[in-house]
Chain A
Amino acid sequence: MTTIVRMCVVSLLVFIPACTWAQPATDKPLQSGNAAVKYWQAFAHLPVIDERQEKMLENWNTIPLDAEASKLLQSAQASLRCMIRAAGCTQCYWDLEYDEGPGLLMPHIARCRTLGRLAALQIRSDFVQGKADSGVDCLLALIQLARNTGRDPLLISILVGYSIESNAMEAVGPYLAGLNQAQLQRISSRYTSMSQMALVQQAVFTEKTYMNGWLNKRLEAVEKNKPGSWRDVWISVLMPVADKHESYHDRIKQVASYEKALQLSTELSPVYDQLAQVFDLPFAERAGRFEELIQQARKSNALAEALLPAIHKVASAQNRYQVRQALFRAALAIAEKGPEQLKTVADPFGNGPFEYRKLPEGFELVSKLRIADQPVSYLVGK
């Protein structure tokens, strides 16, 4: 009996602390939620906009901040407030159904972009009206939205994330030199501590697993269930491409058996690895490698056109984004502590710091990276 009592006491002593440790950390109630849930609340409150307002949002960086812009922003206040609350969350989980393959729904992407444009317009409006603290709140929330949009290792998510963060930098640029020390410090400390988006290299592996891998599994599964059904899957994957390129019809018809379809799908798999390996090369050696690999695959494999991502475009966007991030960090340091801070941030595509150009009311930083023969630069002030 004594032994049983002792065993119970020992079990309780082990069990109680275990339960305590297993409890979720709820000591930070404002930080513990899933940002995605709050973003969806923001989406639910997105204003109904007409075509004219749609155009306004598209040109959020150049439209006059008049009564019409004010009306549009007024209708978006509930949405923007939810976005700012979401920025307080430590995690963001969009809960996407990766197993759907090419049919994976991403209903949040276009909404994130719309919300981002509204927020960028709000930042402009806040700074113009002298509400710098509100502008900084919205700026930080917008950058967090960008990072959360690009958190999933999917090329499209990452691209939209880049676009949103670029909007944030562009929105604050003209006003950055006019912010006080506390506001600048707040931005720089949050900016450096924010979680990053997924890497493009990771996204290539996701595409391999959930686009190419999905097709392999799907072909096998349907064929096992009903012989001949592989063709339905084959057509459903390739038809969207064939609809845009008539010449592609013959390439679809040439694949006459399940074995051939499966072989083509399997043969495409190593191409993803080769594409990912190009990212390991120094920047100067990457030029043309992505295009070369994709063209090569397209010639020999009918599936390449439909499945292989336009990685060269994403890689180019990644380069721009890396430079813009560095430009923004350098601009923050210079605005906070003066031009001598230029040397603290290196140009990712040069051999030293960015080029610094003093302007009457601010400065401009210029990178060695050139896109379409134009250097990537960041204008601070006017």
Chain B
Amino acid sequence: MNDPEYTLEAELAAWQPGPVSPDLWKRIGNELSRKQLQSHIHRLPWFFGSAAAAACLLLAVLLYQKHEEAGKRVDASLQDLLPTLGAYGRALSQTPDALDQLLDRHAASTTIHAGVETNQPAFLTSSTVLQELKGNHP
């Protein structure tokens, strides 16, 4: 068998890896468990971060719902501030004075905003007109 190819095959066969020593297995095992632990430790912040984000999201949803309901309540109570058919109807259903009180409240708000000029006398008195005609107006 002087075939050069045979010789090469034989050399290659001689290079087969020997058996792994128990010490090497142990070292590899140790290394792997250390890396696994490290990986778990690295994932912890992500885990807690995600949990916190989910909790925040849940809280936000709950708060939004509560706020929305409160908003509707505020809207509902604001309805009585406006002179609406619904507000007057509800007042009428309550005590006999409730409708009068609501009308009073609406009347007060209208006269307060009526404008300053209406506080003046509605008509100029004749003497004022005369003073103006005479040029004695201050």
Count CB-based A-B contacts (< 8 Å). 141
Q: Indicate if the CB atoms of B114 and A106 lie closer than 8 Å.
A: no
- Is A78's CB within 8 Å of the partner chain B? yes
| A237: B residues at CB distance < 8 A | 86
Q: Which residue of A is nearest B120, CB measured?
A: A75
A275 interfacial contact with B, CB 8 Å: no
List A residues 262-319 near B (Cβ within 8 Å): 305-306, 309-310, 313-314
Interface residues of A in 63-122 (CB under 8 A from B): 74-79, 81, 100-107, 109-111, 113-114
Assess the A244–B94 pair: CB atoms within 8 A: yes
Q: Knowing A44-B114, A77-B122, A102-B84 are in contact, say whether A309-B76 is a contact too (CB < 8 A).
A: no
CB distance from B94 to the nearest CB of A (A): 7
A111 and B85 contact, Cβ closer than 8 Å, known pairs A48-B119, A160-B103, A232-B72 = no
- Chain A residues with CB under 8 Å of B122's CB are 45, 74-79, 81
A1 to chain B, nearest CB (A): 64
- B90→A241 contact, CB < 8 A: yes
Q: Taking the complex as formed, is B107 at the interface, i.e. its CB lies under 8 A from any CB of chain A?
A: yes
Number of interface residues of A (CB under 8 A): 53
Is A136 on the interface with B (CB-CB < 8 A)? no
Given A43-B110, A77-B122, A313-B92, is A236 in contact with B76 using a C-beta cutoff of 8 Å? yes
Inter-chain contacts of A156 with B (CB < 8 A): 85, 88-89, 92, 99
A240 close to B (CB within 8 Å): yes
Interface membership of chain B positions 102-114, coded 1 if the CB is closer than 8 angstroms to chain A and 0 otherwise: 0110111011101
A sample of 25 cross-chain residue pairs with beta-carbon separation below 8 angstroms, ordered by A number, consists of A43-B110, A45-B118, A48-B115, A54-B107, A54-B111, A77-B121, A78-B122, A78-B123, A79-B118, A101-B85, A103-B82, A106-B84, A109-B106, A110-B83, A110-B106, A113-B103, A156-B89, A207-B89, A211-B89, A235-B72, A239-B72, A240-B79, A240-B90, A306-B90, A310-B93
